[in-house]
Amino acid sequence: MFSRRTLLGGAAAGATALGLAACGGSSGGGSGSTAEITTLKIMAPLLSETAPDPEGQLQQAIQEFVGMPLDITWVPNSSYGERVTVTMASDNIPHVMVQTGKTAEFAQTAEAGGYWDLTDILADYPNLTPENKEVAHGASINGRTYGIFRLRDAMRAAVILRKDWLANLGLAEPETTDDLMEIARAFTEDNPAGDGSATTGLIIPAWNGYGNNGPYDLWETWHGTANVWKDEGGSLSPAFLAPEFVEANRSMRAMVEAGHINADFATMDAATWNEPFFTGKGGIIADVSSRGGQLMGLFKDADPEGYGDKVTMVGNLKNPDGTLWALPTPGYAGYLTIPKAAVPTEEQLATVLTALDKLSSEEGQRLLNNGIEGVNYEVDGGESIPIESDEATLIASDISAFAQIGSQSNGYLGYPARPEGEPEKELAEKRLAFHEADLEHAVFNPGAAYMSKSYLQNGAILDQIVVDARLKYLAGQFDEAGLTAELERWTSSGGQQVIDEMNELFQAGSN
């Protein structure tokens, strides 16, 4: 639900809770002190190779705006989760710790009192008050808010197509799943490239997990399958046990059997997903819309003049009867959390939240996401335009790091970047339009906030039952009866206890 390794519980399986000793008061390094906070200590993941210079122009500007120095520990993203565990068990805990997801470890530590419960506090800070209530509820842990979620687009789904192939065949962009099936057939059988080369319609890589916005999840949602959990009159049931799940995969299997999907869909490396599209071996990708921009960039590098004719996108597709069910993302990527061991008093908490509130204001968001106006960018027509200089290059490098400590849960207030060329502009405008329209038909996960203890213990095994059942059915290894039997085995293998626990939490949260 939140990553490729999760399914129904909203948390990675197999993690263990931190001992309560790590959540109580501690000493050393300022952690646990009741003194006034005069330097804000933060730990955050680093996604680039170089951490920002504490004496650099951007950090100095952010500190001046916040009104206090920042002591930021940047940790390589690849080892960040391990560092969180070690840090929370140490005597040098930061005032603000970025959590990159709703992991079991985070949830268990939060419910044990390791992080401040902000449920009844954030309303006092206007820039920390969530804009989207659905996202805020899904980001909660069993209905309680233990961190300020880091906003991400709630709608990202797109169908990316070879624009030139559509033109060559005289085909319109798809509006329904039936349209897409016909385009996949034509892209496979009707010589879309015009040179007689072998082509495939829909490209799908090996995709682990369920409920993580993959191409199969998109197809199932478009056919009416609920988003991971289905609310049936106030009771939750797994979406994959509903008839719509089987019906959706029936039509997907028909495309596989007809050869309209790449034959290596079960093994293709996801890191090479762009290659068949770019090299003319396939013409459709169902993924996030940012991939459309990536692909356009590849074509631009190869042909700076004619790249605008290669890529187009549409949003979520209607089912054959014209109904639109759109698959949203969780709408966030982790949290800014405040460990009680480092911030033991309400006065200190107010200091930390005031600083974070400033960072999520319009000016704060623009510092974190755009940089320093007049130094590394200028504004024209509400869009940011980069300034060319060595100084600007340094600031632009730092922005990717500082964006990790912003929440934007009150809505994104930074400047959008101006597209490089007219084709990019047209694609960006189209993307924004269909995402906005699709959000009105979003099918949110009613169980996103709740975390079953049984799932935390057995989730990896339960996940694999569903993933394997779907994949083997699509590959023709068994029929619909076999698919149904495998899915029902999920229930008898511990899934029923997950259902019971989820419903207990769901009923309590509804009262």
pLDDT-based confidence at 428, cuts 50/70/90?
Answer: very high
- Tell me, what's the pLDDT at 84? 96
Distance CA 499, CA 232 (A): 13
- Tell me, what's the pLDDT at 29? 38
Q: Are 64 and 57 in contact (CB under 8 A)?
A: no
- Tell me, what's the pLDDT at 48? 84
Q: Taking residues 106-124, what's their average pLDDT?
A: 95
pLDDT, mean over the chain? 92
- Tell me, what's the pLDDT at 511? 64
Distance between alpha carbon 384 and the CA centroid of its chain, in Å?
24
Distance CA 400, CA 207 (A): 27
Lowest-pLDDT range of 131-135, 144-148, 421-425: 131-135
pLDDT tens-digit readout, 10-35:
333 333 333 333 343 333 335 678 89
Distance between alpha carbon 183 and the CA centroid of its chain, in Å?
28
- Tell me, what's the pLDDT at 76? 94
CA dihedral 189, 192, 196, 200 (to 10 degrees): -50
Q: Are 35 and 349 in contact (CB under 8 A)?
A: no
pLDDT-based confidence at 289, cuts 50/70/90?
Answer: very high
- Tell me, what's the pLDDT at 31? 64
215, 304, 309, 418 from 296: Cα distances, Å: 20, 10, 9, 16
pLDDT tens-digit readout, 295-351:
999 999 999 999 999 999 999 999 999 999 999 999 999 999 999 999 999 999 999
What are 232's two structure tokens?
């049936």
Region of 374 (left: φ > 0; alpha: ψ -120 to 50; beta: rest) is left
13, 306, 418 from 301: Cα distances, Å: 42, 10, 19
Lowest-pLDDT range of 26-35, 249-258, 380-389, 440-449: 26-35
Neighbour tally for 348: CB within 10 Å: 20
Q: Taking residues 66-70, what's their average pLDDT?
A: 97
Choice between 205 and 29, residue whose per-residue pLDDT is larger = 205
pTM of the predicted structure, to 2 decimals: 0.87
Return the half-sphere exposure (C-beta side, CA atoms, 13 A cut-off) of residue 64: 10
- Tell me, what's the pLDDT at 9? 38
Distance CA 391, CA 375 (A): 7
Distance CA 362, CA 61 (A): 15
pLDDT tens-digit readout, 454-507:
998 888 889 889 999 999 999 999 999 999 999 999 999 999 999 999 999 999
List residues bridging with 151 in a β-sheet: 332
